Amino acid sequence: MEAASFTSASSTTTPFSSYSSTSQSLRFLRYKPNAKPLNYKSSRSFSARASATSADDSVVTLLDYGAGNVRSVRNAIKYLGFDIKDVQTPQDILKAKRLIFPGVGAFAPAMDVLNKKGMAEALCAYIEQDRPFLGICLGLQLLFESSEENGQVKGLGLIPGVVGRFDSSKGIRVPHIGWNALEIAKDTQILDDVGNSHVYFVHSYRAMPSDENREWISSTCKYGDDFIASIQRGNVHAVQFHPEKSGDVGLSVLRRFLNPKSGRTQKLVQGNASKLAKRVIACLDVRTNDKGDLVVTKGDQYDVRENTEENEVRNLGKPVDLAGQYYKDGADEVSFLNITAFRDFPLGDLPMLQVLRYASENVFVPLTVGGGIRDFKDANGRYYSSLEVASEYFRSGADKISIGSDAVYAAEEYLKSGVKTGKSSLEQISRVYGNQAVVVSIDPRRVYVKDPKAVEFRTVKVRNPGPNGEEYAWYQCTVSGGREGRPIGAYELAKAVEELGAGEILLNCIDCDGQGKGFDIDLIKLVSDAVSIPVIASSGAGAVEHFTEVFRETNASAALAAGIFHRKEVPIQAVKEHLSEEGIEVRM
């Protein structure tokens, strides 16, 4: 993979002959397959001294190599009362008193940037000296010898092992997205508050435990097999999950790393985590009203205007305020759907970017944004690629982006030609940021047929017959907010976008939207059985029982709702309590 997409990459490499640690330093030797085992003695006294000298220092050094959403980590650090110094040169790494490396995206381009900027060697030297370090997600994976992502790519080689892809043949969905449980392997201070709580994962690749790396492992997680969820040796920590997206529990992990002497500032609610939880997602449809204000609205079969003489846009609140409230209410994710076409705005002035920036300051669960992820020109004729648009959303606080119409066109072309061009927004963004960062939003409507053989698309036998007694239906995909039907079915589209690089599917249903009669179980079962990536059920929720129904009768990984939450008809906590009472695991 080329690193050209990361504009901050430098083409020069700095020599590191002066970076070797001294004989007095507690070293972590880089892994050599034939070397004798490292005789490591736990150094509690060393850790205590290091903490004592840095506890009053409010500055944290952050290694941001220019990919993905690092704003969330920044916001979490600032929320906890610390200042940030960004790494500009390899020397900044070596001078750091404590270093956080929130790796985001794909393994190969990350290593490429680290090597080209001369930071890989500095990072190894820093860690080998047992100085306070926290790697997050890819920041854990890069510590290993190599990764199979995009071919065999060498890592930093500090921990023995190869990072490989999850095996979907074992009946699991890949990527691993959602809130899962940890199995603590040894006492490590930063995990002291986790207990039986869920933490948030989003990744397609993982490192596996082995005899060679066992002494590094501080916790594992079960998903198909047990994989390494965190490591710790001395002052060196790394986690595969995202603490900055794991709510109060995740903030406690960061707090204990940044200030090892800190105790709990609040009593955390202890959960009953034992496996991957089903997710409950709050969705906010955002658009400008007739006065030009950005508001959250909700459609009735995609019509967002009131049935009044004024025919005004339905206003259900302010997006940033509602996102913050849903976070407090226990939403597992918050999804923003931009349903206003801001075609004349320069990219940096898009109103949704401001919404993301403000929301991410106080919302520490995943944020997804959709709408307008495509190539476009602004009023000045400036061209922006879909990759540039997505990059700006990630930098502004989005963890995942959702592609709609553009993905439909790409799938149609792929099914017609059988060729992956690599030029579609879906393929480009997935290649640079990883498929776990890309959601495809599908907007189908039911088309009833008497004879399933009469159409070329996959049909289902429906629970409720059509207006003329039809027992079968196919689901026609639409674009442009449901206004234009396309010659492709939801089943065919889902299969195609999975092959093109989608990591998750948001499955809407125009017929059910705003009706409050339940999700379209026929549709959700059809699609969730057809793909091996997670599927989010959307459209139609009106009662807590609808969530139980969709999780029991389909393979949906998450369920999304909007209007019932906005109008306070059904609280998020009531949904979760009902699911838990029905034996469905959720994050409490």
> Catalytic site residues?
137, 242, 244, 285, 443
Q: Which amino acid is at 487?
A: P
For β-strands 59-62 and 144-147, DSSP reports them as unpaired
Q: Which amino acid is at 586?
A: V
The Cα-based distances of 17 to 10, 20, 117 in angstroms read 20, 7, 15
Within 10 angstroms of residue 214's Cβ, the number of other Cβ atoms is 11
Q: Which amino acid is at 448?
A: Y
DSSP result, 104-124: -S-HHHHHHHHHHTTHHHHHH
Distance CA 349, CA 342 (A): 10
Distance CA 368, CA 370 (A): 7
Residue 103 sits at φ, ψ, to 5 deg, of -70, 130
The alpha carbon of residue 269 and the mean position of all alpha carbons in its chain are separated, in whole angstroms, by 23
372 marked ligand binding residue: yes
Distance CA 274, CA 357 (A): 33
Distance CA 86, CA 539 (A): 42
**Structural contact between residues 442 and 477, judged by C-beta atoms closer than 8 angstroms:** yes
Distance CA 173, CA 534 (A): 6
Strands (E), 196-260: 199-203, 205-207, 217-223, 225-233, 236-239
540 marked ligand binding residue: no
145 sits in the region (left: phi over 0; alpha: psi -120 to 50; else beta) called alpha
Distance CA 471, CA 465 (A): 5
Distance CA 478, CA 373 (A): 16
User: Tokens 């809130």 belong to which residue?
Assistant: 179
Within 10 angstroms of residue 179's Cβ, the number of other Cβ atoms is 28
Which residues lie across from 201 on neighbouring strands?
Answer: 178
Binding residues: 137, 372, 508
Binding residues for L-glutamine: 137
Binding residues for substrate: 372, 508
